[in-house]
Structure 1
């Protein structure tokens, strides 16, 4: 009966009757839900966020980056500051000659011992080496000059009998200690030969031989220039005067045997001429010329609050504009801090600085550069034999601080120390040398 009823519901050739309405709706929902779940799993797998892991041959990236080992090494903190390559600060030459400037050297000229620094009243002012400044006239004193010179017409054959108490002197009787001194004191040269407009008595006084460390310094220079025939000591004797006259002859000066206070200038070594503060025809002053040393050096204006690296003989590296690096050494550190110049703009927070001078031992390594901005690198802190990892391996922990992720996905807390050269010092009970840690992506 039921079968007949079903057949009478469908006419031959007609479409099948639709199922009950409620049952069809449930099937449609189930199919749609299955499709959504499959799509979601595919997305999760592509992102590497879970699901049973990536299949072999899949192009999906791993969950995190590569692993690196914890290594034991020495970390060195290096800091760079700006500097200026040059010849150092120009300082005035201690010129004591008076008169009119009649010749000046070109800026940048190098003057060695015995060379002419400038000419005043057409007389050369000569460079000699020493640390003691020229502070008095050097010559035979009043008691040793009187009646001691007998010119024979040829320089170098002059006989002097006033050099008393010396085994290297020609024989002769000493002059009376209180004898008056002629105003010229030179071998027929008169007062003009002294270069100081005074007498040939020097700074001696009432008799005896002129003595002092300045005499020793001058005689050392005279001998170094090849004018010998006397003993290099602290006494200015007749034999010294004879050598002085030969030296004066070579300079085209009157041969007086006396050195005026303005005739020479002392420096520690050869000098490089700076700029002139006078023109030809101007009166000579004590700052008529400036000079520097002849070795190139670097000056850094270091922050007074961060100058602990600047100690004498500290090694530094100097980066030149052409990309080359040369070795340098701290030679001196200023004692006074200089405040920044005013007018640097509102909110200018520049700190006071101290000048740090750095020498370059191998001058050839600098090439032909005479002046250029450079970068100076120095070593700050250093930690030897410590465990380190790349800085990128550090992760921030939820509970605070830093940690490392191990190769098996665990996180271990670490304490960080010095950061340098892209690595960081790490320590902790769970950290050991050689363990592999991940670098998070």
Structure 2
């Protein structure tokens, strides 16, 4: 659900958070008597030159991103599984079958076929890169699984305590893009290894937002955002991905796209997981503009706006054009209006 911090006003009417009303002055239609006769306002505020930023608050969830499932392959009995929250790195066991480890390898291709001497392809290259990263040498890292690769695999298998076949079959390892964090066990010790074993996520905290497509333009990849944590602290982040497929909402719910935000400042994040947060997206920045409190605006009878400029004990009404409204201030411009001037505001 989105929570709007900004209010953009048109010439036809005004909606100001907090119920602040506007006096009416000028071309007919019930002019405010004090404004019309030039009486001094009860208080004044300075015209400031500043940067105004339109923002949009949306709800998100702080966690570790989407989950993926590890499915066991082949025969055997599960004898051990890494527990929820455990972080597993390359070469370490994700689970054990018949008391033999099934280690983690890094890459993008699953083990979809048996790798053996004579195999060629991207999966052979992926395995060789992992062997080299684990400290094994004596082979060339390329797309060919040759005798030297098989010899390195046997040394690796010996270190793991599994049969030294020189071949790597589907199910012999789990492949993920990097370190994983176990999310949930899907099997128990004693179960057969032929089904879902566990789910995992990445190890980096991210904020997930189901963003109303109305605000999709605000979520550009790389854009900086502010995140309000459950503790009230704030953290910064950057949009890391924006979904390309919209999800239609049920009943009265809006159509959304999935947005992920990488979060900085790990110390502030504590142990939050699946925690509700508020993400502040930046809509527009208006640099180097004149701004006054919203309460300084007077509604003119012709549908425009004005402010009362107080100078040398006198009051004059200056027509203004309004721009962005945010955080109780409004962008204004008009003839003779300058930084540092005083304008009338309610007491």
With the length of structure 1 as denominator, give the TM-score of the two structures: 0.65
Matches within 5 A, 1:240-251: 240-251=149-160
CA distance in 1, matches of 2:273, 2:254: 29
Counterpart position of 1:180:
none
The RMSD of aligned alpha carbons is 2.1
**394-403 vs 420-429, which moves further:** 394-403
Structure 1 counterpart of 2:121, from 212, 223, 229: 212
Counting only pairs closer than 5 Å after superposition, residues 20-419 of structure 1 correspond to structure 2 as 64-140=41-117, 209-342=118-251, 349-407=252-310, 408-419=314-325
When residues 399 and 360 of structure 1 are mapped into structure 2, their CA distance, relative to the original with a 3 A threshold, is closer
Q: Which has the higher strand share?
A: 2
| Residue in 2 that maps onto 1:144 | none
Cα offset for 1:240? 1.8
Deviation at residue 318 of structure 1 after TM alignment: 1.1
Q: How far does the alpha carbon of each residue in 1:302-332 deviate from its partner, in whole angstroms, 9 at most, with x for none?
A: 1111121111111101111222211101111
Query: 1:162 matched to which residue of 2?
Result: none
Query: In the alignment, is the contact (CA less than 8 A) between 1:76 and 1:383 conserved in 2?
Result: yes
Q: Tell me if the contact between 1:301 and 1:355 (Cα under 8 Å) persists in the aligned partners.
A: yes
| Whole-angstrom distance in 2 between the partners of 1:361 and 1:398 | 50
Report how many residues are paired: 307
> Using the alignment, how far apart are the partners of 1:75 and 1:333 within structure 2?
26
In structure 2, the residue corresponding to 1:308 is in which secondary structure? Answer: helix
Cα deviation, 1:148-184, whole Å, max 9, x if unaligned, reads xxxxxxxxxxxxxxxxxxxxxxxxxxxxxxxxxxxxx
CA distance in 2, matches of 1:440, 1:322: 35
The answer for unaligned runs of 5 or more in structure 2 is 1-33
Q: Give the conservation status (yes or no) of the 8 Å contact 2:94–2:101.
A: yes
* Alpha-carbon distance, 1:283 to partner: 2.9
Q: Are residues 351 and 210 of structure 1, via their aligned partners in 2, closer, same or farther at CA, if it must alter by over 3 Å?
A: closer
The answer (yes or no) to whether the contact 1:415–1:426 under 8 Å persists in 2 is yes
Matched residue SS, 1:416: strand
Tell me which residue corresponds to 1:429. Answer: 335
Q: Distance in 2 between matches of 1:355 and 1:430?
A: 48
CA pair 253-245 structure 1, distance change in 2 beyond 3 A: same
Q: Secondary structure at the match of 2:295?
A: helix
How far apart, in 2, do the equivalents of 1:372 and 1:360 lie?
Answer: 13
Partner Cα separation in structure 1 for residue 257 and residue 148 of structure 2: 50
TM-score using structure 2 length: 0.82
Structure 1 unaligned regions, length at least 5:
1-48, 50-61, 141-208, 343-348
3-state DSSP class of the match of 1:93? strand
Q: Is the 8 A contact 1:139 1:210 kept in 2?
A: yes
* Paired residue secondary structure (2:210): strand
Q: In the TM superposition, what is the alpha-carbon distance from 1:70 to its structure 2 partner?
A: 2.1
Q: Distance in 1 between matches of 2:328 and 2:74?
A: 61
The 8 Å contact of residues 309 and 342 in structure 2, kept in 1 or not, is answered as yes
Q: Secondary structure at the match of 2:112?
A: coil
Whole-Å Cα distance in 2 between the matches of residues 287 and 333 of structure 1?
29
Of the structure 1 ranges 260-269 and 90-99, higher mean CA displacement relative to structure 2 is found in: 90-99
User: Which residue number corresponds to residue 14 of structure 2?
Assistant: none
- Contact 2:235–2:264 (CA under 8 A) maintained in structure 1: no
